[in-house]
Amino acid sequence: MDRSVKGDVPMKPIDAEQNRKMARVVEQRVGNGPSDLVAGWQSMLADLLDRMAAYLRPGATVTFQQLVPDEIAFFQRLSRAVTVPRSAAAFYLPPSVRHQMLGGPSGGEDGTPPPDAGVLVASHVADHGIIVNALFAYPPFTPAVDVYGQGQFVAGYQYDTIEACLAELGDILRRHLAGAPEHPSTHKEKTTHE
């Protein structure tokens, strides 16, 4: 049996059957190529970006005027931590505004905290072929960044904390939105960061 060694820890050989099982699970959850579900979600995000078009600025993250104090503090933290490429624009959708627009829990009405600190939606300035969508979730939920392109899930990143998500979000925006718009790769990227 051939075993690769990394340091002092022997590595198991690749189990082809196990890899096939994992690939089937991933394909069932994410799917290969465009899907109606993902295309619908990307279309909804593109519609939000279109509605915000008059306020979006290249290389910047914008938000709404009427925010609660916690949302203002988070937006300021987000703005300091994340640099948006000049070829892209982003907006921060806080829980209170999202609740007004889309329904769902915003927290605060009955004294319960919101389930997240809001979302960031970004794309190229005049092209929504690729959209980056970050959710700044509080525990027990997971902060995550998803990237959609041409109706398919292109990349996904999960983090243990909002701080870890904020620390890498600028790199993700540069990776997917810097420069001229391109068609997304069919290669899918899924990572988890601690």
Q: What is the pLDDT of residues 111-135, one digit of tens each?
A: 677 789 999 999 999 899 999 999 9
Cα 50–chain centre separation: 18
Residue 10 is assigned to a structural domain of this protein: no
Residue 80 is assigned to a structural domain of this protein: yes
Q: Which of 49, 88, 53 is nearest to 176 (CA)?
A: 88
pTM for this one? 0.75
Residue 165 is assigned to a structural domain of this protein: yes
Residue 146 is assigned to a structural domain of this protein: yes
Residue 77 is assigned to a structural domain of this protein: yes
Contact between 120 and 147 under an 8 Å Cβ cutoff? The reply is no
> Is the per-residue pLDDT at 79 higher than 60?
yes
Residue 5 is assigned to a structural domain of this protein: no
d(CA 14, CA 3): 9
Please, what is the Cα angle at 191 between 187 and 194, to 5 degrees?
A: 165
pLDDT score, position 61: 97
Structure tokens at 84: 């948006």
Over the chain, what is the mean pLDDT?
Answer: 81
The number of folded domains in the chain is: 1
User: What's the Rg (C-alpha) of the chain?
Assistant: 19
Residue 87 is assigned to a structural domain of this protein: yes
Q: Which of 49, 90, 108, 96 is nearest to 71 (CA)?
A: 96
Task: Kindly report, residue by residue over 2-54, the tens digit of the pLDDT.
Answer: 443 444 434 445 556 665 655 555 555 555 667 888 888 999 999 999 999 99
Residue 12 is assigned to a structural domain of this protein: no
> Is the per-residue pLDDT at 185 higher than 80?
no
Please, what is the Cα angle at 50 between 49 and 51, to 5 degrees?
A: 90
Task: Kindly report, residue by residue over 97-114, the tens digit of the pLDDT.
Answer: 888 876 665 555 566 777
For 181, the domain range is 36-193
